[in-house]
Amino acid sequence: MTASKKVALITGITGQDGSYLSELLLEKDYTVHGIVRRTSNLFRSRIEHLRRDESIYGRRLFLHYGDLADNATLGRIIADVQPTELYHLAGQSHVGLSFEIPESTCEEAGMATLRLLEIIRSQTQPVRFYHASTSEIFGNASEVPQTEATPMRPTSPYGCAKTFATQLGQVYRESYGLFVCNGILYNHESPRRGENFVTRKIARAAARIARNLETELLLGNIESQRDWGRAQDYVHAMWLMLQYHTADDYVVATGELHSVRDFVEAAFAIVELPWQKYVKHDPAFDRPTEPGRLVGCSDKIRKILGWKPRGTFSELVREMVEMELAAIDSRETPHELLP
Ligand code: NAP
Ligand code: GDD
């Protein structure tokens, strides 16, 4: 079935990170398998360009139906595909929403990771496993910036589930010698970001207001601060982790903090509009709790794996807003415009 020796399986291939990771691995001559959920719509916007490419789809890229709740199917796919590397990215990833749907969030972000770890433990061939951990495990962080040694103090159901999964990854690595890496990734964005995450929401609204398609932008807490990087750089970090001779955990971050307000100001400056006229506070977008100052120290991955983030905060905002404008002007979705 497989042409090249390196075989990757990606859960969450249709998500922001899954789509960029697929492109990276295909460039590196991997055979890529992805798990997709059954939906009523066959159009999977972020990977549609790959699915339509006859030189790739069905030759080096394969999609399999599966759900994180369906253990038997996950086991069968892994047994059939025999991946050398498994990138586990799937799950409900919205922190605010995790307060509304805590049980399914914890099932997907927590228990599903345990199921996958158990499946790879039972494989006869070794599988290198990447777990999509997050800065949300630090939550009410006891130090700034955070490192791999910072205690985990999550502040949301999502953060709790990711903490559980991160610690399980460590336990399976230490107890059974499995090759398991936790990538402790801080926020990373792109024009492919889901529309209900704050950066995409702002970029999209700034563009739509500039083109007279909308009149206001409703936001929660604009004083919140995050360490925002570029998704394309962060999937490269995932790949680097699985190429090293030993498995470990790594913080992946820019080390720079910006507020939601900074993002708003930069986005509206690009379309030359006064943001104060359009941005309104809507308490519906406030969260019951917010984490502390989440900003990462990525010295370890920079030193050991030679990773570093590229570009600046302003360039990221510009890329996202300009892609939204181009999408409106050409009536395409931003995903379809991407190279
Ligand atoms: P995303 O865009 O929300 O993608 C999530 C993916 O998971 C989608 O492909 C989705 O499929 C799939 N999925 C959700 N529930 C599933 C289920 N029950 N069964 C099978 N597939 C399911 O997330 P992302 O931004 O790419 O992030 C990837 C991972 O990294 C997530 O685990 C996230 O929590 C974590 N993370 C993200 C960041 C960040 O800043 N982006 C930072 C740290 C950690 P559908 O397309 O069908 O919905
Ligand atoms: N989504 C959203 N919508 N967030 C808003 C809004 C709004 O209207 N208004 C203000 N915010 C604030 C949130 O309260 C939060 O403090 C900040 O903007 C960022 O929110 P999100 O973009 O939803 O990202 P997140 O930091 O909660 O979670 C993302 O990053 C994590 C890594 O730190 C997700 O990708 C998680 O999956 C990931 O683990």
Atom 2 in ligand 1: residue holding the nearest Cα: 15
CB 134 near ligand 2, within 6 Å: yes
Q: Using most ligand atoms within 8 A of CB, pick from 20, 44, 93, 250 the residue to mutate for ligand 1.
A: 93
Residue with tokens 């007279």: 212
| CA-based nearest residue to 57, from 39, 72, 79, 42 | 42
**Ligand 1 pocket at CB < 6 A:** 12, 14-18, 37, 39, 67-69, 89-93, 108, 132, 134, 185, 187-188, 194
pLDDT > 90? residue 5: no
Residue 13 CA to ligand 1 centre (angstroms): 8
Separation between Cα atoms, residue 56 and residue 238, nearest integer Å: 22
Q: Which numbered ligand comes closest to the C-alpha of 66?
A: 1
Asked whether residue 339 carries a pLDDT value surpassing 90, the answer given is: no
pLDDT in tens, 236-252: 999 999 999 999 999 99
At residue 331, the pLDDT reads: 78
CA distance 202 to 71: 38
Could you read off the pLDDT of 63-119 as tens digits, one per residue?
999 999 999 999 999 999 999 999 999 999 999 999 999 999 999 999 999 999 999
Identify the band that residue 42 occupies on the pLDDT scale cut at 50, 70 and 90: confident
Share of the chain above pLDDT 70, in %: 96
Q: Residue 25 pLDDT more than 80? A: yes
Q: Are strands 128-134 and 229-230 parallel, antiparallel or unpaired?
A: unpaired
Q: What is the pLDDT of residue 335?
A: 62
Is 260's pLDDT higher than 60? yes
Atom 4, ligand 1: residue with shortest CA distance = 15
Report whether residue 259 contacts ligand 2, using a CB cutoff of 6 Å.
no
Ligand at shortest distance from the CA of 95: 2
- For residue range 265-294, list pLDDT tens digits in order: 999 999 999 999 999 999 999 999 999 899
What is the 257 CA–ligand 2 centroid distance (Å)? 14
Percent of the chain with pLDDT over 90: 94
Q: Where are the alpha helices (DSSP H) in the chain?
A: 16-27, 48-51, 71-81, 95-98, 102-106, 112-121, 157-176, 198-210, 231-243, 260-270, 299-305, 313-330, 334-337
> Which pLDDT score, from 0 to 100, does residue 43 have?
83
Report the range of poorest mean pLDDT among 2-6, 44-48, 193-197. Answer: 2-6
From the alpha carbon of 93, which atom of ligand 2 is closest?
A: 37
Active site amino acids: 134, 136, 158
Q: Could you identify the atom of ligand 1 that is nearest to the CA of residue 16? A: 26
Segment 116-134 shows an average pLDDT of 97
- The structure tokens listed for 37 are 């959920």
Centre of ligand 1 to C-alpha 215, Å, is 30
Best mutation site among 198, 202, 285 for ligand 2, i.e. most ligand atoms within 8 A of its Cβ?
198
For the CA of 227, the closest atom of ligand 2 is 33
Tens-digit pLDDT profile for residues 67-76? 999 999 999 9
pLDDT tier, 1 (very low <50, low <70, confident <90, very high otherwise): very low
pLDDT digits (tens, 9 = 90+) for 144-161: 999 999 999 999 999 999
* Residue (of 216, 199, 225, 210) closest to 320 by Cα position: 199
Question: For ligand 1, what atom is nearest to the CA of residue 90?
Answer: 7
